[in-house]
Amino acid sequence: KPRVLVVADDVRRRFMQVFAVAGRLDTHHFGQVGAMRWVADRFKVRRVPCYVVVDPATRQGFANQPQMLSSSGAQLKGEVSKARFLPELDRRSFQERCDGRWQGSCAWIAIFAVPSHALGKDDQSRRALRNFREACKVVRQHAGTGVECFWL
């Protein structure tokens, strides 16, 4: 599941819209940190409160920079839900991306096969998965909607 990391000026500060969205979205894990130096450097934080949606497989954020935290729970839910990453191939992801059929957007699929333990330990595997994800973006731009990419 993607991680939503909320960055606040004080880790004890509570944001009700974040709690509300975290309770409704079972597709993401939520966490909160203070704007410590390492957080600001790692995620390029300029202003708080903000959030970053991170892909746990590649350890990269969806957007290039943190997004400012909106005061509306519905808006935050929509923004967080828009962050789509390269999914692991399973029944749910195949149903979501392909409507459970091998046609239309899934006339062709590309699969990056990697042992799951390698993504947690091996930087080369994560780099290869990042390159595969970027290649899939290029293929979609040029080939259109006839191909979907997954990792397995």
Segment 21-72, tens digit of pLDDT: 999 988 889 999 998 999 889 889 999 999 999 887 777 778 888 999 988 8
| Distance, CA of 94 to CA of 73 (rounded, Å) | 28
Task: Give the pair of three-digit tokens for residue 15.
Answer: 């944001």
Question: Locate tokens 């954020």: which residue?
Answer: 61
| Mutual angle of helices 16-24 and 73-82, in 10-degree steps | 50
pTM: 0.70
Residue 21 pLDDT: 92
More confident residue, 119 or 11: 11
pLDDT per residue as tens digits for the range 78-111: 988 887 778 888 998 899 889 988 888 888 889 9
- In terms of phi and psi (left: phi > 0; alpha: psi -120 to 50; beta: otherwise), the region of 22 is alpha
pLDDT score for 114: 85
